[in-house]
Copies of this chain bind each other. A is one copy, B any other.
Amino acid sequence: MAHINAHYNKLAAGYLFPEIARRTEIFLEKHPGTRVRKLGIGNTTEPLTPAVIKGLKAGVDKLASPETYTGYGDEQGNKLLRERLALYYTERGVSLSSEDFFISDGAKSDSGNIQSIFSSDSIAAFQDPAYPVYVDSNVIAGRSSGFNKDKEEYNNFVYMPCTKENNFIPEVPDQKVDLIYLCSPNNPTGAVATHDQLKSFVDYARKHKAVLIFDAAYAEYISDPALPKTIYEIDGAKECAIEINSLSKFAGFTGVRLGWSIVPGDLIIEGTTPGEVRKLWNRRQSTFFNGASNIVQEGALAVFSKEGLQESKNLVQYYMENAQTIREGVESVGMQAFGGINAPYIWLEIPSGLTSWEFFDKLLLETGVIGTPGSGFGPAGEGYFRLSAFGHHKDIKAAVESIKNNLRL
């Protein structure tokens, strides 16, 4: 008799974004014809840029001829792409080998799967609030005995609260943990860790032989040159940190699907020699995955061409104008906003004591704007609300106008 993996029963709620979609659907059934403006899920809206379109089409053309057709690709991804990525990091002063890179179908897959190469009794620490995949994947892997409804926390996990008081960047844990998930620029708070803050985590990880899992998916949204764009800018990070990144938000690849993980050969954990953890991730990936689409990998190479990089930077700039519009708009009606400077998310403090799901319903009802309740990202997200800067300028402006005109604070 087959049984389900009972760890799934411990999950406190459905995955966040499907839940938002469900509530929106119910709202639209009750209020048909309402013009809904989606600032919830961080979904890109602007077309791929000309250089990328050209690269993708060249990728398709290659498959039309027997001379250039390719089937299964290199195990860790297109070698040219891995070399180009290594070079891109070199340009930031970081030395990595193309063998350290693993091309994937996106940061979500890597964020979810990376925990599987570590022992099931690992103690995991998370920023609170955080992207739900980190927590959910560890629950499903059995690292929590269950959800504590009073604390709104999963047992056995270490939460690192990100609050107004610490500018949404936590201190290192005051206990020993094995895996630490960090996301900077942060989803959902929009906060960016400084060099010194990241250094404290690298020092902690090296001292305790913990592993940092660093999600840099929003790195290209950093405009302040003093802020680190990769964990490997920090001395010693190659011994303790895995980085995950993606073209979703940099180049509009949310639907196209391409990401990469970096497991440096230098990384060591308890009982391993250099190269062993990287080899383990290779074994995981070559057993459960057959590579990102060869067409998409050609598109990714085009992103890192001279034209592609310039166009992608313009795309980031486009969304960051939205971030400014949103931030100024919500501040103009007296709300306190964080983020949105070096990140495409604005983190609103909810006025008047509403829960974040109550504010979700109120905002939708009064303004037609859909955002993401902070509590969906963890207990310390309660009292906050995420607005995403991904959208057409005119839609974002209309949403902000609707907030200004219709939200009753």
Contacts and interface: CB of A to CB of B under 8 A. Distances in A.
Nearest to A178: B2
B60 A45 contact: no
A409 interface: no
A72 B60 contact: no
A67 to B, nearest CB: 9
Interface string A244-279: 000000001011110000000000011110001100
Contact of A178 (B1, B140, B288, B390): B1
12 contacts: A2-B119, A3-B118, A4-B272, A15-B286, A45-B66, A46-B69, A47-B64, A48-B63, A57-B60, A69-B252, A140-B284, A257-B292
Interface in A136-191: 136-137, 140, 142, 176, 178-179
A6 interface: yes
Quick one: copies of this chain in the complex?
2
Nearest to A271: B3
A211 interface: yes
A277 to B, nearest CB: 7
Nearest to A68: B47
Nearest to A133: B287
Interface of A: 1-6, 8, 11, 14-15, 18, 41, 43-48, 50, 53, 56-57, 60-61, 63-66, 69-73, 75, 105-106, 108-109, 112-113, 116-122, 133, 136-137, 140, 142, 176, 178-179, 208-211, 252, 254-257, 269-272, 276-277, 280, 283-284, 286-296, 390, 392
A227 B276 CA distance: 46
Contact of A270 (B3, B121, B392): B3
A293 B293 contact: yes
Nearest to A60: B56
Contacts of A119: 2-6
A106 B2 contact: no
Residue with the greatest number of chain B CB neighbours at <10 A, chosen from A44, A106, A142, A255: A255
A269 B1 CA distance: 7
